[in-house]
Amino acid sequence: MATYFDTPSRTFGEYLLIPSLTTRECTPDKISLATPLTRYKTGEKPAITANIPLVSAGMQSVSGVQMGIALAREGGFCFIYGSQSIESQAEMIRTVKNNRAGFVISKWNLKPTDTLQDILNIKAETDHSTIPITDDGSHHGQLLGLITSKDYRISRDTPDTPVAQLMTPVDSLITSEEGISLTAANDLIWDHKINCLPIIDRKGRLNSLVFRKDYDQHKHNPLSLFDDQKRYLVGASINSHDYKQRVPALVEAGVDLLCIDSSDGYSVWQKETIEFVHKKYKGAVKVGAGNVVDKAAFKYLADAGADFIKIGIGGGSICITREQKGIGRGQASAVIEVAAARDEYARTTGEYIPLCSDGSIVHDYHITLALAMGADFVMMGRYFARLDESPSAKVKRGNDFVKEYWGEGSNRARNWQRYDLGDHKGGLTFQEGVDSYIPYAGTLKENLNITIAKVKSTMSNCGAADIPDFHKNAKLTLVSDLSLVEGAPHDLIVRE
């Protein structure tokens, strides 16, 4: 007879936290959200720790170079998507690792033949008024000039005026060669009273930009995640098919942490992938695995040596796996069961395996609930895709801006490796994800500031000074339908 679980599949929205005593030690300003990303022996330190418990999903519409840099700067972690060629993924890793704090890789660039209208379009979409002009319009092309709002007058120049006629040519710009320190770059900015300093390589190709306005931000970012050479930490998604070629290329490019990305991680292929990585690099390269939703699958990947384990099947906002295949589990039930298995594993083996709750985060408080239930960090796609730093297009729909967000199991991403169950068909027979729009939400920094403030505020209510404390002492209750009504504004007319 089949096995039946005795509790229904529950999700985050069905739980609430109950406050505990708030003491002077756990006011929001004192709370630490530092959290391990990799397995460690009790009493020892993990190889990698994040300073906020948020990581971005390894998806085409979420995690590219800009997200990698921006998230590490805020203390979180990005997994650059694996559904691209090995060469281009390794190049993305290399770009993040080569980016030094304060040196911005320009996302919006133009060619000399582009027009004033193109400048105005970028300005309307991004609010950026400094645009490098390169020979091929890429962020690493030959630098030919720079456009700022001082270079054109809308009332005088026609929209079809070529950029070449408007830009300040490179010969008239103050530039510097790569290798310059941030302090020296800022000194140049101050000495020459400029707002932006382009950094070029020996051949005159654009490397990055240093902005006067960022000066304070770099001085005050104590949470940024760096390796021992002061380079940002960054991860990469891999699959259990081409890992023998992909992993060496990523390691060579400087990746800090790998994650096997699959909709169902309870498979011998995941075990083989983990074993390959650990054998080849003798444990020096860490690899997470998943996704799982119960203790049996957790135990399998834990025994296989996974450095962290990711939880979640079918709950992603773009996911239709449950509708298509009838598998998955409510995210809260999955986290609660796997966290109990993880604690048991730590008691019996002396090894703590961090858990990542992946997907299903709709409200900021869902992050807090996932942490309370035993997750060490959460992975999000929708949350990050809405922001300026995601690689997807920002488009106007009606009067509002939206960003494109598509699942790895959609026809658009065609990430068959994430769904293939060993028959190597090399394509998707049916879709497990959708292609969608989500409301545009601004910059990573402004959103994270609010999200983190809410998480800390709730932890303070619950008397928890850090995440391990929260794991041990959180008190949770299930909610009834009627108590959900009570929790929203009710029996009044909301003004607005």
**Judged by CB under 6 A, which stretch of 86-94, 164-172, 332-340, 373-381 contacts ligand MZP?**
373-381
| SS3 state of residue 206 | strand
| Beta carbon of residue 68, minimum distance to ligand MZP (angstroms, whole number) | 15
- 418 assigned to active site: yes
| Beta carbon of residue 372, minimum distance to ligand MZP (angstroms, whole number) | 18
361 is an interface residue for ligand MZP by CB under 6 A? yes
In the complex with ligand MZP, the residue whose CB is nearer, 207 or 410, is 410
**Judged by CB under 6 A, which stretch of 70-78, 139-147, 359-367, 458-466 contacts ligand MZP?**
359-367
| CA 429 to each of CA 294, 411, 426: distance values in angstroms, whole numbers, following the listed order | 27, 10, 9
According to DSSP, the β-strands at 206-211 and 476-478 are unpaired
**Which of the residues 196, 319, 356, 462 is marked catalytic?**
319
Return the residue of 66, 115, 224, 410 that touches ligand MZP, per CB under 6 A.
410
**Judged by CB under 6 A, which stretch of 20-28, 94-102, 314-322, 487-495 contacts ligand MZP?**
314-322
Contact indicator for 201, 177 with CB cutoff of 8 Å: yes
Residue closest to ligand MZP, measured at CB: 433
In the complex with ligand MZP, the residue whose CB is nearer, 54 or 353, is 54
In the complex with ligand MZP, the residue whose CB is nearer, 380 or 459, is 380
* Structure tokens belonging to residue 137: 């319009």
Return the residue of 208, 360, 390, 458 that touches ligand MZP, per CB under 6 A.
360
| Those residues with Cβ within 8 angstroms of residue 384's Cβ, 6 or more apart along the chain or in another chain | 56, 57, 62, 63, 67, 71, 390, 444
Lay out the site mask for ligand MZP across 25-64 (x = CB under 6 A, - = otherwise).
--------------------------------x-x-----
| SS3 state of residue 107 | coil
In the complex with ligand MZP, the residue whose CB is nearer, 292 or 318, is 318
Cis peptide before 207 (omega within 30 of 0): no
Lay out the site mask for ligand MZP across 143-172 (x = CB under 6 A, - = otherwise).
------------------------------
Residue identified by tokens 């009606």 is 398
In the complex with ligand MZP, the residue whose CB is nearer, 18 or 450, is 450
* Structure tokens belonging to residue 189: 């900015």
Estimate to the nearest angstrom the gap between the alpha carbon of 318 and the chain centroid.
16
Calpha distance 234→47 (Å, rounded): 14
Strand locations in 228-371, DSSP E?
235-238, 257-260, 287-292, 309-311, 351-352, 355-358
- 259 assigned to active site: no
| SS3 state of residue 496 | coil
Closest by CA to 273, choosing from 310, 245, 315, is: 245
- Beta bridge pairs of residue 260: 238
**Which of the residues 73, 100, 382, 418 is marked catalytic?**
418
Q: Which residues sit at the interface with ligand MZP, rule CB under 6 A? A: 57, 59, 312, 316-319, 321, 358-361, 379-382, 407-410, 432-433
Active site residues: 319, 418
